[in-house]
Amino acid sequence: MAELYCPCGHTHKLWGEFWWTEARYQWIFFDDVVTSETYAEQVEYCPACGQLLERKNLSKAVNSAS
């Protein structure tokens, strides 16, 4: 599982999992914003901007150590 963000700048948090589906591995994305209408649902488009989600275009969450 990976915490990811769309490059749209809305910082809508998603999580992605690499699943075996339809005889191949593919990334599956889920909405991870509790107040969102699609929270915890599988999504193909960014809930904030509507852009098609592709792993190569998403950024990982950055852990900040204090």
Per-residue pLDDT for the chain (66 aa), expressed as one digit of tens each? 899 999 999 999 999 999 999 999 999 999 999 999 999 999 999 999 999 999 999 999 776 554
Among 50, 22, 66, which Cα is nearest to 31's?
Answer: 50
Tell me, what's the pLDDT at 1?
85
Q: Please tell me what DSSP assigns to residue 1.
A: -
Q: How many CB atoms lie within 10 A of CB 64?
A: 5
